[in-house]
Amino acid sequence: MSVTVRVPAKVNVQLAVGAARPDGFHDLANVFLAVGLHDEVTVSPADELRVTCAGPDAHQVPLDRTNLAARAALVLAERRGLGEPAVHIHIAKDIPVAGGMAGGSADGAGALLACDALWGTHASREELLDICAELGSDVPFSLVGGAALGTGRGEKLRALEVGGSFHWVFAMAGRGLSTPAVFREFDRLAEGRDIPEPVASEALLDALADGDPGALAAAVSNDLQPAALSLFPELADTLAAGRAAGALAALVSGSGPTTAFLTRDPESAAKVAEGLTASGTCRSVRTAAGPAAGATVLSA
């Protein structure tokens, strides 16, 4: 008996970042869009907790208890008094690792939903979301998918209406960036400046609701982008290459270093992907559309 859950990656179409809070986190207005790049998390009974991973980036994935998938199993088992979870968690990884696309968060949400089904613990949606928030700021969104505005540290979600499909190209970088390091760089760059309260852009929410890629392109923003570029200056070349290839908008995805390019339709996405590949400014290139569904049980 095993359970497989499919979980999407995300891109942040707006990431407004406030000043550092006393707990070290930052208040955000984080507009998430789930996109059709997926990890698949399969859980099956085993003698002890074990994590394995397959895929092009698998060697970069920690297989110990720091992996969010392992933590999800540990938290659910502890809350239900099940003791040490005896489960094998296998991650078929297609989402870039340490890329700013919530790959680790996706595995946390996927493992949680899969263990809940395997163990018959029947956690309510509310409890699942609560555990996700305990695991990390982006994990609740990986569970729900679609499009949502995340406030607080990103974990308080309001579902957003989306009036169509948006076509994206993603350029994977040659190395990862650590999310805490990017937030620290944001703090360093912000020193001595007044940081406004983060608020969602009405123009951006309207563009999403209208399914209008031109209007969305004019409204996308990422306050972490200067920090990501400061730590990884070569990303500017990738952004320029995508713009030159015809992208409507080019931005760093979340804390990076994956760069995201919004295009008008699948044909222009293919053209932008070709231009980015030819530019030699990134490791690999993928196309994906959003919104995509959240964590979904495929087989049990």
Nearer to ligand C5P, 26 or 90 (CB): 26
Q: How far is the CB of 296 from ligand C5P (least distance, A)?
A: 22
Instruction: Point out which residues bind ligand C5P (CB under 6 A).
Output: 24-26, 28, 136-138, 153-154, 179-180, 183
Which residue number, 99 or 154, has a Cβ lying nearer to ligand C5P?
154
Q: Reduce the secondary structure of the chain to three states and give it as a string.
A: CCEEEEEEEEEEEEEEEEEECCCCCEEEEEEEEEEEEEEEEEEEECCCCEEEEECCCHHHCCCCCCCHHHHHHHHHHHHCCCCCCCEEEEEECCCCCCCCCCHHHHHHHHHHHHHHHHHCCCCCHHHHHHHHHHHCCCHHHHHHECEEEEECCCCEEEECCCCCCEEEEEEECCCCCCHHHHHHHHHHHHCCCCCCCCCCCHHHHHHHHHCCHHHHHHHCEECCHHHHHHHCCCHHHHHHHHHHCCCCEEEECCCCCCEEEEECCHHHHHHHHHHHHHHCCCCEEEEEEECCECCEEEEC
For ligand C5P, give the closer residue by CB, 131 or 285.
131
Nearer to ligand C5P, 179 or 287 (CB): 179
Positions at the binding site: 96-106
Minimum CB separation of residue 35 from ligand C5P in Å reads 18
Catalytic residue (one of 57, 107, 138, 223): 138
Q: How far is the CB of 36 from ligand C5P (least distance, A)?
A: 22
Set 10, 27, 39, 57: catalytic member? 10
Q: How far is the CB of 273 from ligand C5P (least distance, A)?
A: 29
Mark whether 10 is an active-site residue: yes
Which are the catalytic amino acids? 10, 138
